[in-house]
Structure 1
Amino acid sequence: MASTLSPVSGVGLLSIPYALAEGGWLSLVLLLLVAMVCCYTGQLLQTCMGASPDVRGYPDIGALAFGTKGRFAVSAFMYAELYLVAIGFLILEGDNLDKLFPGTSLSLGGVLVLSGKHLFIVLVSIFILPTTWLRNLGVLAYVSASGVLASVVLVFCVLWAAVVDGVGFQGKGTMLKVSGLPTALGLYTFCYCGHAIFPTLCNSMKEKDKFSKVITNQ
């Protein structure tokens, strides 16, 4: 897992070039600010979880601070975020797989026909669903390693297209594009969307007191 001082590998990392195209080179200041805020809030989260042995996640922190109403409010916001982010990733996977395998379809008894993006969204959902039942993220260590490998392969492919296939590096970009700053800020923030799993990750560690090293180091 990447630290909060560097963008999350995968979609977040690959979205940075588009963010630069939208906001300009000076928008990188926003990336630095987002990184600093996420690092600081990660440290605060560790402090909150260390305040009581009963704190296992965000709802417990809400209950510790504001009672039952706090638990309900935090749970509502957290589950809404996780639900919407999951939908976003499923749509992204459906779009990408549909481009890789155009024209793919599946007929279920002649009654229901799934094709294109809809088919791949269903297949990805079925494949990913069992991982949501795990209560210890340590089991996903090998899956995480494969994700890092995939990011390396993608970066290599981009460099290959630029150098070997003759695409080149002619794009100069702009220094600042004010109209694109909201989009750039949204993409930079998306790079650091790992906070939702921090409590589970911390609880899965054998040495929880070293969680701060996860935040500040690779």
Structure 2
Amino acid sequence: MHEAHATEAAALTARPDLPQGTGRQRAATQGTDLQRERILQAATQLFAAQGYANTTMAQIVRALGVTKPFVYYYFRDKQEIFETISWRPAVDCFTALDFAADDPRRASEKVLEGIERLIRATVAHHPAAFFPYREPQVYRPEYLAAQKKLAHHFYDLLCPLLEQARRDGDLDFDETKITALAACSLPGFLYSWYRPGGRLAPDEVVAELTKLASRVIGLRTGH
């Protein structure tokens, strides 16, 4: 079962449902990867500051100090840049429970670490992790379908672990799916209030939200 999930995750994270052979680039090298990252970083800041609709390819080009053909060599259009930026956080968040098949820990330990990983990935990928919450209308149906597969992969792992932890006497809850969704919705609300450089450091935000999530899943005292 775990091997099947691992295979599925590997297939999903390869971005099979996203455009292949993006732009005019045909082969990735260390140099081209660095240039792609430059473009993605500049675009991320613009999308975060002014939104998708108000950001143009011309603005991305100006921010980089390059010409349009340079950007179009790597990416087909603005939407592809936006989806590429959004995909990495989605993968990191929804593979948070991809533990080794022979991991001997109790189910409750895996649940807590997985939720903490999810929260930490959301915070670490600010602001890109929040784009789907802010502008869900931007994404193509194909992208949304790929993202949904990743989410299903995550919850297909989480729900059995929750139920096992309940049988072990470590957790106390009633409805499995509602509990899973409620606990994992906590980082989803970060987009409305989280600001780097705020009163709490990123690690403190992660710790606070993980503690709240542990209450949602009914972690028993002493665990």
Normalising to structure 1: TM-score of the pair? 0.30
Normalising to structure 2: TM-score of the pair? 0.29
Greater relative contact order (Cα < 8 A, sep 6+): 1
Which protein is richer in helix relative to its size?
1
